[in-house]
Structure 1
């Protein structure tokens, strides 16, 4: 693994890279990169040597590698301008080339074979950093829902970090005392540059780590994509690769609901399956590679489409402008009417089953509510960690709601019990979290409750479309976006003939893809297909109605 991380370019490779970089010299002892600070770009070593050290924000440092001639300094975060997660210091005078993010993307795209080798190494370095727990240190009570939320945010966005439980870790308790942190200050986030955040929001943490830059209110994008799930990322990859300027906005993480899937086994080309996190991570890197600007976490609160260019309001981030908009905002996890639910979200109640939650319920019994494919994938995954999984469904079986391969897989799991015609009435617990799930009716054996500390809810989702009401985009009775022939006749006339394009909404230049679209098939493959297809339909719109009416130059 170390050899792959320290992959060296040949003399010929370095010559091909020269045109993308700017020469720079560092003296012995000088810092090339400082953890927690902005990075000028990828650095190619032409002479000299440098040490690479991980720093934890408390001043403690560990040398993990040395770079020499032909090595390049950086990881995949350099594609999107993230802050450094390691220190790199010159051991002797160094001559090198600094390749800024835009030129790094140009290198990867124009030098396909060489760029592929460099990109693979950068990705492996990020994976190694995640496994090593580099990056910010989170300190708090393991039963604190806010600590869990921050862990989920960083994990879903593939950002390296470590977690210290104040209840079980003496050093963590000592740090809290030394910092004079009150209970309301927890969790703490100690960043690599020494910055200490007290009970930060996702946005505050993202800004401290450098992967949420200020949005440029003066720039007019060709395409603004709201949502970084499979549909949104697919649209970003295809639009950016065709030369359109692309902005992607998401309020939580790339991957959407699919990104939380432990294993997707029916996606074309992956016969042994792939985790939603890995699939989404590859798409995220691919979109960055082609130059899409991805801003996370940024919540879009309103779309104004009275005139061109359209304006999107964001919570706390001002407004951004775009000539076309792709609605890929997906759905929001449905919260069933269960007494006590609010008190235990993030403290025993979860809406997805990732490795983070699986570790928490290792060697324990769990309960899961839901009978769709997402529930099926979670059941199979959790069964490999929990001692027993109780599955609660209102129907008599999975037959009408779940894919056959998942039904057969679940039937063969000895530690899974399916309880048909079963619903949850209320939840009970204490300050440490969930303790019992009380049922509306007794189980076959007469039990009226399940004494479990972990409950997973997969009870469907509602469309995330409230932000569209300021624009007049037509929705169906359930809040899903109407497109193509489903748009009422009068609205089709308002938008012009271009609504014959099946992903066009009732507003010209505004499209919808994925789970937010009425009539879509709620599958990852379908979402990706729609995300790819919408780019061609944007080009078709420009060709049919004339680019000047939208102020867009047709490309690609």
Structure 2
């Protein structure tokens, strides 16, 4: 451990119910160790335990605990026994009078005592410091590391635990995962005052425990912006995928007061991709997370405001203003709006899959689960690029990866370069004309029933991991009655609105809608949510930039 890390995090605690003795011990400790350690003192076992729990939640390290033996309510041995449950690596010292030497010796077996010191300890240079020097050296040899980041305690096969981990990962929030049934997870739960019946428990970097937090509450506590800084903007971008991020970058860089609103995590489906190899300017490929992080930082650099965990539920026209309403009843308004809501993966309708979602069945790549797939058989449903990219990524560590494709081949929906890579990867198997008929498992996925789409023949296979990448359902139901959409819910814009030579219903301007303009003037669409869009990252980014150009044109003529 570096001296900097030790200085910032390592604690020496002293506990004594006699205020005079407590101050004297702390004084001697600060004189010798104050420059490199934080000295914490308490005057009762209960208050010391509370302090230890708070230190645990904040991820601070406790190197040595010095406790007086004779304390009312809870003696030093009883205190150290409970302290072991919170900070088991801390070195333990009992401060005792000569008459209590036998009790101190017995404590060596009861609480694995490292040392006992007789009162008085003067001079400390002879009786205190040499002991502490040796204990600190022994503690440092254990290579302890501070864990100040957000901590998540939950169960591996828990849908909500999986959602929380995915939310934090996709929003670039560093965190550490602890299983509730492992010792350190249990210690964190105990420090947070929880018994493990309500999970997950998220412990923020400042030590605040959140029990089964909602997405908005979680976002607010881990430092993500959730509240708009103003009531009115030049441009509101709804959706944080490639199209939305592209619009935010170009809008903000060109002087528009821009806010981007994302209901979950920036990046959209592309942000979940393990590797994008056909995006211009990245010949060696780039992960969706890396591309998203760069785009988000770029938008923020130009002054775009980014709101996370805010769900938009309505769009209203109020004169020249376009009002965006949120699920909590609040609203913001702007001169213009770009709809970049993207699409979501369709859910499997096979029996058993709904109950096992997050417990072995995942929609999208769920990269936080990839490490747990090491050495296992993995199944992927889907035949487009996102499924192929996930197969290549998971094949690095999985025993086998089986692509289940409803169609006759991959050629109709997957890029040629990905098909070639899959063919060259020995542990990837492609089964065309195959569908998932049902999923089985008690609390977690244990098996799948597969059906041949042609012969109807069924096969039961063992499976612990199923990743689903099927179809593209637009996230536009909240726009019903506001903007025109096609029969599948994709938003109509520009020429698609005037295919019959007439303007859309309710259109009051003496011009036709611009290329990406919807049936509501000043409201534009970009990316996968648009009718007949290309469903590629590059085209989504390009449409986001083009939409901003059309926003300028609209504002100039308004």
Q: For this structure pair, what is the TM-score category when the shorter chain's length is used for normalisation?
A: 0.7 to 0.9
Q: How does 1:302-381 map to 2 (within 5 A)?
A: 302-316=314-328, 318-381=330-393
Equivalent position of 2:15 in the other structure: none
CA separation in 2, counterparts of 1:365 and 1:226? 38
The answer on 1:291 being equivalent to 2:303 is yes
The answer on 1:261 being equivalent to 2:273 is yes
CA-atom RMSD, angstroms?
2.5
Return the match for 2:424 from 409, 412, 424: 412
CA deviations 1:431-488 (Å, max 9, x no partner) are 2x100011134999x8712201000111112011112125x21111111110001114
Equivalent position of 1:477 in the other structure: 487
Q: How many residues matched?
A: 423
Equivalent position of 1:68 in the other structure: none
Return the match for 1:423 from 411, 432, 435: 435
Indicate conservation of the 8 Å contact 1:56/1:136, yes or no.
no
SS at match of 1:430: coil
Equivalent position of 1:176 in the other structure: 189
SS at match of 2:276: coil
Indicate conservation of the 8 Å contact 1:185/1:199, yes or no.
yes
Return the match for 2:528 from 488, 494, 515: 515
CA deviations 1:260-307 (Å, max 9, x no partner) are 000000000111100011001100000000111100011101111242
Return the match for 1:532 from 542, 545, 549: 545
CA separation in 2, counterparts of 1:490 and 1:540? 19
Indicate conservation of the 8 Å contact 1:222/1:245, yes or no.
yes
Give structure 1 stretches of 5+ with no counterpart. Answer: 3-28, 30-54, 64-130, 547-556
Indicate conservation of the 8 Å contact 2:445/2:465, yes or no.
yes
Equivalent position of 2:170 in the other structure: 156
CA separation in 2, counterparts of 1:304 and 1:193? 40
Using the TM superposition, give the Cα deviation of residue 135 of structure 1 relative to its aligned residue in structure 2, in angstroms. Answer: 2.1
CA separation in 1, counterparts of 2:468 and 2:372? 16
Equivalent position of 2:469 in the other structure: 458
Indicate conservation of the 8 Å contact 2:494/2:515, yes or no.
yes
CA deviations 1:117-139 (Å, max 9, x no partner) are xxxxxxxxxxxxxx996521111
Alignment TM-score, normalising by the size of structure 1:
0.72
Indicate conservation of the 8 Å contact 2:152/2:176, yes or no.
yes
Structure 1 pair 366/443, CA: closer, same or farther in 2 (3 Å)? Answer: farther
Indicate conservation of the 8 Å contact 1:213/1:295, yes or no.
yes
CA separation in 2, counterparts of 1:235 and 1:59? 39
Structure 1 pair 522/479, CA: closer, same or farther in 2 (3 Å)? Answer: same
The answer on 1:277 being equivalent to 2:289 is yes
Equivalent position of 1:198 in the other structure: 211
SS at match of 1:316: coil
SS at match of 2:420: helix
The answer on 1:144 being equivalent to 2:158 is yes
Equivalent position of 2:9 in the other structure: none
Structure 1 pair 497/366, CA: closer, same or farther in 2 (3 Å)? Answer: farther
Give structure 2 stretches of 5+ with no counterpart. Answer: 3-33, 35-54, 64-144
Using the TM superposition, give the Cα deviation of residue 212 of structure 1 relative to its aligned residue in structure 2, in angstroms. Answer: 2.5
CA separation in 2, counterparts of 1:354 and 1:265? 19
The higher radius of gyration belongs to 2
Using the TM superposition, give the Cα deviation of residue 172 of structure 1 relative to its aligned residue in structure 2, in angstroms. Answer: 1.4
